[in-house]
Structures are given as structure tokens and as C-alpha cells.
Amino acid sequence: MDLLTPHLLSIGPLLTLVAVALLVLLLESIITKSEPVSFWTSVAGLLVSIGIAVPGIAVHGSAFGGMLRTGGSANYFSIIFFICALLTIVFSRDYLKKRDSVFGEFYLLILFATVGMVLMAAAADLIIVFLGIELMSICLYVLAGFIRGSVLSNESSLKYFLLGAFATGFLLYGIALLYGSTGSTSITFLTEHFETYASSRLFLAGIGLLIVGLAFKIGAVPFHMWVPDVYQGAPTPVSGFMATGAKAAAFSIIIGLFAQRFVHGVQIGTLLAILAAASMILGNVVAIAQTNVKRMLAYSSIAHAGYMLTGLAAGNAYGRDGILFYLLAYAFMNLGAFGLISFMEQEGEKHLTFDDYAGLGTTKPFLAVLMSVFMFSLAGIPPFAGFFGKYYIFVGAVQADMTWLAIVGVLMSVVSVFYYLRLVMVMYFQDTLIGQTASYSASSAAFVVLAALILLGLGVFPSSLLAIITTLY
């Protein structure tokens, strides 16, 4: 027991979250009308977890015999996941009422998925990586199909599950090959001895399979096929959760693996650059053609995976810090946007096309303004946080002699302005449709406003966050 105590203390945020999840599980099974209790327990638990995680950022350490990294980036990512989970849970309550599926198990699954994400971010061993990914993915498969009466939701869940299981196979095979060629699953060991093994084909095959598995999770081209269908069919807040939390979690692993030294092996840097360019081009170009807002955001999320991969391909501190900055900003802007869409959506997956937003600027100016903020930020227009994320990433690419990639990125950002601002244009310069309704609770509205304010704050004072980010690794 005494041996365990320091380890347990250092993983405080994780433990708190697990405790909250188990508490919700118990409440669900004991109380009859448990949904409100579960909701508030989850919200309170996540707030407490954030509170515990914040002071830990300054401390760096490891726990459980090198299985977990604690403090630093692990805590930073944990905070991102907690924020994503918090926003998702708050938004989903209104949404689930609309879809007639208000069950406390939803919050429980979100909490479990978040535990998986925290494990991924904190993992210092590939076994933990695998377990974290599985925990997160299995919960997400179920969450995607949570609206059981909806065909689209079922389709989304099934597609995500089948392809996700397949991708996990790649990941696991990669881990097995890495273990076979190095005799270790420790990420620290692998990053430190990368050059030693770089000539081993078995090792490189393992790295390649690992990249395939992770690229699937972040939805990078050419492993993006599932993204539009899954995001469209899943309950809207869940789509937001997948696009932000799950993506950030997968990136936390990729950064942990590759951002340190791996990129010096030239092949991997180039490989990531190709993935990045393909994702940016395909995501942004195809997004133009979308009429469904959720699908548009799905393709935009593919494009964003591309931007972030750019920072990784750059392989320098600038790029890495840019990704960390961008992931936090992206959590706010994307979840905010999905939250607003969930307010607008009506029964039976209605009111999801661009036309349904016509004239929102006059009928519901409050929602329209907020939506515009998120769209501007997603497009990377200053003074919102999205701009600075992209800025740091592209600067990183230029510094790493990958100017071509930066140029592709900037060009594609310009393309993206077209479809983001089209929504804004539709809202303000087209005539109102009849029957436009939005339903949301005060707490949801408060959180959306908060997200928009934070975006603005981060955009105006990016250096305060950046100062923290530079100390993370």
C-alpha cells in the first residue's frame, strides 16, 4: 500500500475521473430516476478533475514503473479531454431530450471514453496506448449508436465499429512488430533508441502499421472514409466529442511517439507531410460540396487533422507547440459549433442543411453571432484562436524547410474560408425560412458563450497559453 501511494497521488486527475465514472455507474444502478443525478455528478466530477489537473501541469514525472507519464503534457491533454467531455455532456442533455433518449448511461460512456483518452495522453508504454485506445473507441462505438431508433445512428455506429476494429488490428500488429524488433514496448525506450533500430525493416514495418492505426483515429487521408458517415449519423454532440477529444487523444500519442526524435528519420517526416497535404486538400475541397452542416464539419475535421499533421511533419518545437495550442482552441471552436448545430437540429435529423440556417441572423441573432465566431475561428481568421494555431504550425513547417507544405496549408485555408463563411453569409444575407426553432437550456447557452469568449481570449493573448505549452515536454 505504501509503495502505491506516491503513484496514486501523481495520477490524481485520472483517479478522480475513474472514481466519478464508477460513482455514476453505481448511481445509475441504484436510483430509479437517475438521469439528473448522473448528469450533475458527471459535470461536477469533470470540474473537480480539471481543478486537480491544472496545478499538476508544472510537475513532470512518471508512475507505475514507467507505464505512465504524469504532469506536463499528460495533464495538459487531460484538461483538453475534460473540457471536451464537459461541453459534450452539457450540450447532449438538451439534444438527447429531443431525440427521446435521455439516459444516464450516456454520461457514463462519455466518462469512460474520457478515461481512455487520459490514459492515451499519459501513456509511456504501448500497452497502455492500446488499452486507452480500446477503452475510448468501444465507448465511442456505443455512443455513436446511442439513438437506437435512428437508422443513421445505427449505421454510424456499425461503420465506426467495423472500420475501427480493423484499424485497431493494424495498431496492435504494429505494436507486436515493434516489440519483436526491439524487445520493449516502452515509448521512452523506443524514442531514445530510434536511430539504432531505424535500419531494421521489422521495426519500420511496425512504425508504419502504428501510423496506419493512429491515422485512422485522427481521420487523416487516406484513412478518412469513415469520418463523414460516422459524424453525420452519430448524435451531434458525440460527433463533436469525436472530432475534438478523440482526435486530440490520438494526437497525444503521435506527438509522444514522433515529435521528439522520430522525425529525424527522414522517411517518417516525409510520410507525415504527405498525409498532412492529402488531408488538407481532400478535406477542404470536398467540404465545399457539402450541403449538410454536420458533413461539412466532418470534412473540415479531416482538413484540421491535416493542419495538425503539418506541425508534426515539421518536427520542431514550433510545430509541436502549435499543435498543442491548436488542439485546445479546436476543442472550443468545434465543440461550440457542434453544440449550436445540436440546438438547431430537430427531430428526425432535420434542420441540418445550410438552407435551414437562412436568416438566422435576424430571427436568432444570439445563435448567429456565436456561430459566426466559431466559423471565423475554424477558418483561421484573426483575432480568434484558430488563427494563431495555424500560424505557429505553418511557421514551424517553414523553419523545417517544408515551405511547400506550408504553402499547401495556407492555400487550403483560403479554400476553407469559402465554406465556413458561406454559412455566415447564409445566416445574415438570406431570407428567413419559416419554422426555424432552436431549443437549448441556459447552462448550454452559458457554456457556448464561454467557449466563444475563451476563443477570443486565446486569440488576443496567445502568448500566455504558449508560455505554458513550451514547458510541457
Partner 1 sequence: MTVDAILFFIVAAGAVASAVLMITGQNPVKSVLFLIVNFFCLAVLYLILHAQFIAIIQILVYAGAIMVLFLFVIMLLNLGTEEKHVDALNMKRSVAVILSCIVLFLILIAIGLPAAGTGGLPASALVNGTVETIGRDLFRQYLLPFEITSLLLLGAMVGVIVLAKKHFE
Q: Which residues bind partner 1 (CB under 8 A)?
A: 18, 25, 32, 64-65, 67-68, 103, 105, 108-109, 112-113, 115-116, 119, 125, 127-128, 131-132, 134-135, 138-139, 141-142, 145-146, 148, 157, 181-184, 193, 196-203, 205
In the complex, least distance from residue 273 CB atom to partner 1, rounded to whole angstroms: 23
Q: How far is the CB of 209 from partner 1 (least distance, A)?
A: 10
CB closer to partner 1, 190 vs 333 = 190
For the bound state, the minimum distance from the C-beta of residue 249 to partner 1, rounded and expressed in Å, comes to 15
* Element spanning 45, H or E: helix 35-56
Say how far residue 447 (Cα) sits from the centre of its chain: 18
**Residue 200 or residue 436: which is nearer to partner 1 going by CB?**
200
**CA distances for 393 relative to 141, 151, 289, 307, 415, angstroms:** 31, 39, 27, 7, 18
Measuring CA to CA, which residue among 352, 445, 438 is closest to residue 150?
Answer: 352
Contacts of 455 (CB under 8 A, 6+ apart): 329, 332, 333, 336, 373, 374, 377, 384, 385, 386
Kindly provide the b/e burial profile for residues 213-232, where b requires at least 16 CB atoms within 10 angstroms of the residue's own CB.
bbbbbbbbbebbebbbbbbb
Peptide bond connecting 237 to the previous residue in cis, omega within 30 degrees of 0: no
When the beta carbons of 23 and 67 are compared against partner 1, the nearer one is 67
- Match 507486436 to its residue by C-alpha cell: 176
> Which three cell numbers mark 299?
470534412
- Look at the alpha carbons of 184, 190, 192, 194 in this order and tell me if their dihedral is positive or negative: positive
DSSP state of 346: B
Could you tell me the smallest distance in angstroms from the CB atom of residue 9 to partner 1?
A: 15
Angle in degrees, 0-180, between the axes of helices 201-218 and 293-314, rounded to the nearest 10: 150
Nearest CB to partner 1, comparing residues 33 and 431:
33
Strands 68-71 and 60-63 come out as antiparallel
Count other C-beta atoms under 10 Å from residue 61's C-beta: 15
CA distances from 72 to 48, 55, 76, 123, 472 (A): 18, 10, 6, 13, 5
Give the residue with the Cβ less far from partner 1, 70 or 310: 70
Q: 145 or 311: whose CB is closer to partner 1?
A: 145
Instruction: Give the separation between CA 306 and CA 325, rounded to whole angstroms.
Output: 15
Q: In angstroms, give the least distance from the CB of 426 to partner 1.
A: 37
Q: Which is nearer to partner 1, 200 or 441 (CB)?
A: 200
- Report the distance separating Cα 38 and Cα 33, nearest Å: 10
Cβ nearer to partner 1, comparing 115 with 337: 115
Least CB distance to partner 1 at residue 348 (A)? 20
The three-state secondary structure class of 210 is helix
**Shortest gap between Cβ of 255 and partner 1 (angstroms)?**
21
Report the residue number, 103 or 391, with the smaller CB distance to partner 1: 103
Q: Identify which of residues 265 and 380 has a Cβ nearer to partner 1 in the complex.
A: 265
Residue placing its CB nearer to partner 1 in the complex, 20 or 448: 20
As measured in angstroms, the least distance from the Cβ of 203 to partner 1 is 7
CA triplet 233, 238, 244: central angle to 5 degrees?
Answer: 115
Shortest distance (Å) from residue 64 CB to partner 1? 4
User: Least distance from C-beta 200 to partner 1, angstroms?
Assistant: 4
Please say whether the beta carbons of 85 and 49 come within 8 A.
Answer: no
Residue 32 C-beta: closest distance to partner 1, Å: 7
